[in-house]
Structure 1
Amino acid sequence: MFVRRIAVVGTGYVGLTTGACLASLGHRVVCADVDALKVARLRAGQVDILEPGLTDLVTEGQAAGRLAFVEGARAAVGDAEVVFLCLPTPMGAGGAADLSAVESVARDLREVLPYGAVVVCKSTVPVGTSVRVAALLDRDDVAVVSNPEFLREGSAVRDFLRPDRIVVGSDSPPAAERVAALFAKLGAPTVLMDAASAEMVKYAANCFLAMKLSYVNAVAELCELVGADVSSVTDGMGYDRRIGQSFLRPGPGWGGSCLPKDTHAMLRIAESVGVDFALVRSTIEANQRQRQRVVDKVRDAVGGTLAGARIGLLGLAFKAGTNDLRDSPALAVAELLTFAGARLVAHDPEVRRPLVGMTVVDEPHEVARDADAVVLLTEWPQFRTLDWTRVADLMAGSVVLDTRDHLDADALRRAGLVLRGLGRPQHAPTG
């Protein structure tokens, strides 16, 4: 494998993982960020992102002289052969992706990119962004390639080093092959295509996953009403190879840094060409209803009104294994509970800072103190092994609502608690 000189602009989840992993493959990587304090911390091996294996890769890469951190994009691209843009593309006005960071960096780098460099859009961007970046660069010698990321928070390093596939798209086949060669050591299936198709792949994949999650949440609701158990139903579904086991667990709704913004962006892309993508729109609407459905279950658990009710929350991050609160369904449910008059006490193993509308405590059992109900919203493994007898003693009520089908029903029953979940028959005993 040829060793390449690579610049990575942006050191968020995607940028830092990309830079550290490419360095681990033997490339020489310089990562840039506009935040001087963040750059200083990374140089010292201090990684603020909760991502297994990432700190070790950053430390090892710097020790080997293959990974460096600098302030500002221009400082990173001096002799770079390939420049990865790993910049935020948050939800903008009307749901469309906000490309201001990508466009700003493209303008900034136009005059300083080395001759013959390849610019790679790693950020999730709408169809046509590669063409837009190429126009902003206005360099006939510089090719633009789309290489969407498929990294899951909490397993980003593993996903990068053991990918299901690598997608590379460009209207310049030699440039696409050059980028694909960076990952040759991984031995993963590589799919080469045009830039527009590569840009669409990420949106199409994420919207499909969001639809699958909304679908299983709707199935769970139906199971409650007809006397079926959703865990049995999804178990029977998952063995079908056409469906698979993943993304078949009901929950309080989907969230995180990708699915909400990508589903909205897909709607805007469709609308821009006159397509009514009703499936995606319904997926988003169903997700909003799911959060309210959880609140309704909490209301039922405390006797019909949330005004003045004390509710303990277990989990705030959008999923276990991360400290990311962006578009967390747990926070969305908490906001609705607060709006209904509930008083909230919450604990998350990786979220220790104060949050508006709730008291955040350091000890998980403390969420149960005088609580009328306890609600599990994030599937942290340590919640399974709480002292449920202690929880029962501390609570004013007796209902624990498990929105992730995560807890040990027998352990709660032995403690004298009433376990309620999603997708279980309403008339059946808990458990």
Structure 2
Amino acid sequence: MSSTVRPGRPAAATPEAGAGGRERPKAATLGTPADAPSAAGQPPVVADRERRRRHRRAEAIAWRSRLWSWTSLKRLRHCGRVTHTAAGGPVLRVSETPEGRRAGLAGLQSCGSPWACPVCARRIAGERSAELLDVLSTVAAARGSAHLITLTMRHRRGQRLADLWTALSAAWGAVVSGRQCERERDTWGLLGWVRVVEATHGEHGWHLHVHALAVFDGPISDLMAEELGGRWFARWQRALARRGMDAVEDRGGLDVRAVQMTAASLEQVSDYLAKITAEVVASSAKEGRDGNRSPFAILRDALATGLADDCELWWEWEQASFNRRQVSWSRDLRAWAGLRTERTDDDIVAEDLGGEDTIGVTPEAWPAVRLHVAELLDLAETQGVDAVKAWLTARCLDWFLPAPRRPVTARPV
């Protein structure tokens, strides 16, 4: 059974009881630990990394909260705002991990969009990046190799993003199907591929391209990789032509690059591919080459200026990317690398947060609390749960102590 704390109603049940009959924690201020802070004793490099992680999280939460009022996606309007049940509010869960204390809110709906939600995109990208790194590490251990093959299509201003994306999907299907593809597996020792779609927008409209990480069972020369890329491009170009579109190989339509099989390089490549659409902070939502903007850069500008053109571009992005796969795998590659069955984006964001249920927020208090979610998570991680209780109590926001739950291994937030 849970106990509700109602600030402003002192109870005389115990000598030390505060509001609602529970001990009233002493007010905590930022930088003054209420209990053992996760940052205590951390080396400066680790402490700085944690600060940057919390900053990125706060930025993502802030952007999502501003999207609630004008996104075209119903699930995104509910993400992180609406609880799973009409009655009850979210619960703060806290766990201790090797990386430090982690906090999150359980009981809230998630949209699971890797394309349009700043918060879900980060969580999904984290798992995809780890999977890509596992595959590359397995390839390296087997003395294999990898090349990154990028295929691009011509575009012009005024073309609808949905039409371009449909053509891209059909063209990629032509690249990786048929007898030619099967022969290439044998000739090149091609173990498989991982495909990621990237989109930017610039002076000439939407620009889509495919990044395909091709992995091989042994070393291959750059010349052999370029020959394979040329074969892929020929099928890509023919499929686009059937849909009235085109690509030019020597004008950026094809790019083939070897992946250095070192630990640092593998981590960099896996992060790059998985987080192409996920990063939202200013340093990574920057303008791309030739002044092109990523979708989250468009969102950043729309939030900053409210320009109708940017808002309309974002809405087009939301609708065209909806239900599209961000990362796709060739058959059997995951099994070869020893990965578990692929989880959907919804499965990833719905994963149990793990940790201990520490504080529940009442439904009446939640509308006010949700304006300060990032602040409360930071407080829980750096100063502890007592500091969160004090923060809520000082603002007359009702909270309660939830029934204990069985601890679950935590996932980093």
Q: TM-score range by the shorter chain?
A: under 0.3
